[in-house]
Structure 1
Amino acid sequence: MEKKRNTFSGSLGFVLAAAGSAVGLGNIWRFPYLAAKDGGGLFLVIYLILALTFGYTLLVTEVSIGRKTKQSPLTAYKKLNKKWGFLGIIASLVPVIIFPYYITIGGWVVKYFLAFLTGKGTEAAQDGYFTGFITSDIEPVILMLIFLAVTAFIVFRGVNKGIESFSKIIMPLLILLVIGIAIFSITIKKTGDDGIVRTGVEGLKLYLIPNLDGLTVKSFFTVLLDAMGQLFFSLSVAMGIMIAYGSYVRDDAALNKSVGQIEIFDTVVAFLAGVMIIPAVYVFSGTEGMAQGPSLMFVSLPKVFAQMGKVGNVIGCLFFAMVLFAAFTSAVSVMEAIVASIMDEFHTSRAKAGIIELIVAIVVGTIVCLGYNKLYFEVKLPNGSIAQILDIMDYISNNIMMPIVAIGTCILIGWISKPQTVIEEVQKNGEKFSRKGMYVVMVKFITPILLFILFLKSIGLLTFI
C-alpha cells in the first residue's frame, strides 16, 4: 500500500502527462472532421474562444480539486463535501465504461500501424478491409490485448517511472510527427481525372478561412455546440482523469501556468491534426472526402496514402505511429483514473488495483470486440443514431454521464463550496490567477448553462439546433 502519495517530479512531467491524456484519438480524426463540416476557420475561431473560457474553467477546476484533496475522483468529491460523494461515483464510472472500448479502438490503430509498417498499406486501402477486420473473430481481440498490455505496463510502473517517464518520451515524438506530416501534407499536389490540379495549400485555405456561406442563427449554434462538445471531450474533463492527475501535482507547482500550457498543447495538436489531414484528403478526394466523419481515419486516409505511391506507405506508417502514441497516452490516463480510485477508496496497493482493472478490461474489452460479429445487434439511441455495443457504451459515458459530472462539478464549486475553493488553490504559492474574474462568472453561470444545452442536444431533446 502506498503510504505517501506519489507526485510528478515537476510541472513539466504533469503538463506532458495531462497533455498526453488530452491529446487522444478525438483530436486526430474528430477535430479535422468537425472543422471541415463547420466552415473551417469559423469552427477554429469559436473553438479557440471556448478553449480560453469554457475549457479552461473545467480544466482548472478539476486539477485544483485533485491537488487540494490529494484524492482520486471517487474520493475527492466527498472530501470536498460529504453530500456530494455521489458525483465521485459517477465520475469514476465514466473511465470504467470508456476504457474497454478505447483499448478496442487502440487495437484497430495497432492493426493499421502494422499494415503500413510491413508494406501492406495498399491492402489497408481496399474497400471492405476495415469491416472485414473488425468483424473477424480473433484478430481484434488479440490486438486489443496487445494494446492493453502496453498500457497496463506503464500504469503498473507508477506515476514517476511509468506515466511521467513515458509522457516525456512519447509527447515530444508525437509533436515532431504531427509537425512533419502537417508540412508534408501542405506541399503535396495532384492532377485529378478532371484535369484540375489540387494542392495542399488550397486544402489548407479551406481549413483556415472561415466559410460563412449560408450561415444562419441555427447553423451558428450548431458550430458552437460542435466546438464545445469537441473541447469538452478532448480536454479529458468530467471523467476523473484531471482530478487524479491533479492529485499528483506538488503543492509548490505553478498550477495556473501548467493548466495554460495544457490548453496550448491540446489546441496546437488538434489544429495541426487538421493541417495533416484536410489538405491531403482534399488533394486526393476533393471536398467530398473531407466529410467522412468517423470513417475518416480507418477508411478514407488509407485510400489517400495509397494514392501517394511509394511514399504513401512511409507517410501512412508515420501517421499511424503518431495516432498510436496519442492513443497510448490517453489510454494510460483513463486506466490511471480507475486504478487511483480503487487505491484511494479501498486503501490497496497499485498492483492489486491494477490487476482488478486489468481483469475487468479484458472481459469487457473482449465483449466489445465481439460486438461486431458473434454479439452483434443494433438499437436506436435517443439521439436517433443506430448503435451496437461500442456505440452504446460511448453514448452512455460521453453523452449522459460526462455532462452530468461537469454540470455537478460547476454547481458544487460555483454555489456550494464556492469559487474561492479553486481560487485559493491556484493562488497557494502566490501565483497570479490571471483569469480569476472570468473564472467566477464561467463556473457559476455560463459553463453550467452551456453544458446543460449540450446535454439536451446530446440526448436528443434539443432537436431544433
Structure 2
Amino acid sequence: MGKERSSFSSKIGFVLAAAGSAVGLGNIWRFPYLAAKYGGGIFLLVYIILAVTFGFSLMIAEIAIGRKTGLSAVGAYGALSKKCGFMGWLTSLVPMIILPYYCVIGGWVIKYFAAFISGQVQAAAGNDYFNGFISQTGQPLFWFCLYVAATAFVVLLGVEKGIEKVSKILMPVLIVLSIIVCIYSMTMPGALEGVKYYLLPDFSKFSITTVLAALGQLFYSMSLAMGIMITYGSYMKKDANLESSVGQIELFDTGIAFIAGMMIIPAVFAFSGGDESALGAGPGLMFVTLPKVFASMPMGGFIGTVFFLLVLFAALTSSISLMETVVSIFQDKFHWNRKATCLVVMIGMLVIGVPSSLGFGVWDFIQPLGMSILDFFDFISNSVLMPIVAFLTCIFVGYIIKTKVIVDEVKLSSKFRREKLFVVMIKYVAPICIVAILVSSVLNAFGIIKI
C-alpha cells in the first residue's frame, strides 16, 4: 500500500462522494421508467426491500475490500487471494466500457440544459427534436467532448480538492432542486392518479420480472460490481464507521430515485390525461416526454432549466466516480502521476465514446445483436459483466477469503449490527439471484423470453 494514497478528509465527504457516484442517470431517468413499466408501487416496494438486503451486503463487501487492501479493483482481489487476480481485471473492464457511452448521454443532458436556458422550450418539446439531434454528427460530438472535459477537470483536481469538494456542494443542491420539482409536479391537475399509481402497491402486478428488473436497476443505481465502491473504500479512513456509511449511501440513493419517480410519473399522468401507455416511453422518457410536460406548464421554461441542471449534476457526480475508478486502476498498475493518467484516460474516453455518439446517425447501420452501438455497450456492461462480477465477488467473499475477513474489517471501526444478514445474503441468497438476472437478461437480449 503506497504512502501517498489520497483519502477523504471526513466521513461526510466519503458518504457524499459515494452517494454522488450512486446517484446518477440511473436514478433520474432509468428508475422512474422501470417503476412505470413494472407496476409503480409494487416495483418501488420490491426495490426498497432488495436495497436494504442485497444492495447493502454487496456494498459492504466492496467497500471493505477496498479499505482493507488500500487498492483499486485491479489489485484488491489479487492482494487478498493470488488466484483471484483476474477478477480485478474483469471488474475494471466495467467502468472502462460504461464511462465513454455514459459521457455521450451526459452530452445530451448539457444540450437540453442549453436549449432550456436559451429559451428554446417549445422547440425541445417537438416530436422529432430528440431524434433529430442525436442523428446529427457534429452537435452530439461537441456536447460529448464538453462533458468529457468537465468530468476530467474535477478528477484532475484529486480526491479531496476535486471529488469530495464537488460532491459536498452538488449533492445537497441536487436534493433541494429535486424536492422543488417534485412538489411542483405533484400539484399539477391530474397528477394525483400518478401519485397513487406510484405509491400504492398493486400486488396483482407482481411477477418474477418485477424482481429481476429491480435487481438489475440496483446494480446500475448503487454503483455495484464496477469497481467504484472498492476504489472509494480504498480512500476511506480506518476509523470511519463502515456500516453506517453504507446505510447513509443507500438512503441518499434510494431517496433520490424515489423523488425522481415522484417528479416524473405524476407529471406524465397529468400531461397524458391519465394514460398509462405514456409511461412506456422508456429511456426516452426524460428527453422526449418531459420537455412536453415542461412546455405545457406555467413557468415551464424555468422548471425545465432547473430540472436539466439537476440531471446534469447527478450525471457528473457519477461520471466523475467512473473516471476516478479508471484513473485509480491505471495509477495503481503503472505508477503514473495523476495528470498523465487523467490525460490518457480522457483520450481513451473520447476515442471509445465516438462510436456510441455516431451510432444514432452516420453509423446507425452498425447494429450488434440488433441494438444501437450505445445500447450494445450498455447491455454488455450492465446485463452481462456486472452480474458476472457480482456473482464472483459473492463466491470470493463467501467461500474463498471467507466472510470473516470482511466482518473483521467492518468491526475495526464499529459493531456490525447486520452481520447475520450480510453472511446469509453473500453466501446463499445473492448468488442465486444474480444468476437469475444474468440468464434472464441474456435470454431477453436474444428474444428467447420477453422481459
Q: TM-score, normalised by structure 2?
A: 0.96
Residue equivalent to 2:291: 302
Please state if 1:86 is matched with 2:72: no
Any idea what the Cα deviations from partners look like across 1:88-144, whole Å, max 9, x if unmatched?
A: 001111111111100000000000001111110110010111111111111111111
CA distance in 1, matches of 2:449, 2:186: 38
Residue equivalent to 1:193: none
Residue equivalent to 2:223: 236
Please state if 1:178 is matched with 2:162: no
Residue equivalent to 2:383: 399
2:125 touches 2:288 (CA, 8 Å); kept in 1?
A: yes
User: Where do 1:261-276 residues align within 5 Å?
Assistant: 261-276=248-263
CA distance in 2, matches of 1:26, 1:224: 17
SS in structure 1 at match of 2:207:
helix
Residue equivalent to 2:51: 51
CA distance in 1, matches of 2:9, 2:57: 25
Residue equivalent to 2:234: 247
Residue equivalent to 1:63: 63
CA distance in 1, matches of 2:215, 2:354: 32
CA distance in 2, matches of 1:155, 1:318: 25
CA offset at residue 380 of structure 1?
Answer: 5.7
Please state if 1:450 is matched with 2:441: no
Residue equivalent to 2:406: 422
Residue equivalent to 1:291: 280
Residue equivalent to 1:441: 424
Please state if 1:28 is matched with 2:19: no
CA distance in 2, matches of 1:380, 1:336: 29
User: Where do 1:76-155 residues align within 5 Å?
Assistant: 76-155=76-155
Any idea what the Cα deviations from partners look like across 1:178-235, whole Å, max 9, x if unmatched?
A: 111111111111xxxxxxxx2x22221111011234x4xxx52111111111112100
* Root mean square deviation of aligned Cα: 1.3
SS in structure 2 at match of 1:460:
helix
Quick one: which amino acid aligns to residue 410 of structure 1?
Answer: C
Quick one: which amino acid aligns to residue 96 of structure 2?
Answer: V
CA distance in 2, matches of 1:135, 1:273: 28
CA distance in 2, matches of 1:169, 1:434: 31
Residue equivalent to 2:343: 355
CA distance in 1, matches of 2:210, 2:36: 11
Higher helix share: 2
SS in structure 1 at match of 2:100:
helix
SS in structure 2 at match of 1:459:
helix
CA offset at residue 3 of structure 1?
Answer: 4.5
CA distance in 1, matches of 2:98, 2:217: 16
CA distance in 2, matches of 1:202, 1:41: 12
Residue equivalent to 1:463: 449
Any idea what the Cα deviations from partners look like across 1:118-176, whole Å, max 9, x if unmatched?
A: 11011001011111111111111111111111100000000000000000000010000
Q: Which moved more, 1:149-158 or 1:368-377?
A: 368-377
Please state if 1:212 is matched with 2:166: no
CA distance in 2, matches of 1:183, 1:131: 30
Residue equivalent to 1:201: 192
CA offset at residue 363 of structure 1?
Answer: 1.2
Quick one: which amino acid aligns to residue 454 of structure 1?
Answer: I
Quick one: which amino acid aligns to residue 463 of structure 1?
Answer: I
CA distance in 2, matches of 1:341, 1:366: 23
The percentage of counterpart residues that share the same residue type is 51
CA offset at residue 375 of structure 1?
Answer: 2.0
Residue equivalent to 2:19: 19
CA distance in 1, matches of 2:425, 2:365: 42
Quick one: which amino acid aligns to residue 224 of structure 2?
Answer: V
CA offset at residue 250 of structure 1?
Answer: 0.4
Residue equivalent to 1:194: none
2:193 touches 2:266 (CA, 8 Å); kept in 1?
A: yes
CA offset at residue 428 of structure 1?
Answer: 0.6
CA distance in 2, matches of 1:225, 1:393: 20
2:178 touches 2:259 (CA, 8 Å); kept in 1?
A: yes
Q: TM-score, normalised by structure 1?
A: 0.94
Residue segments in structure 2 that go unaligned for 5+ positions in a row: none
Count of matched residue positions in the alignment of Structure 1 and Structure 2: 445
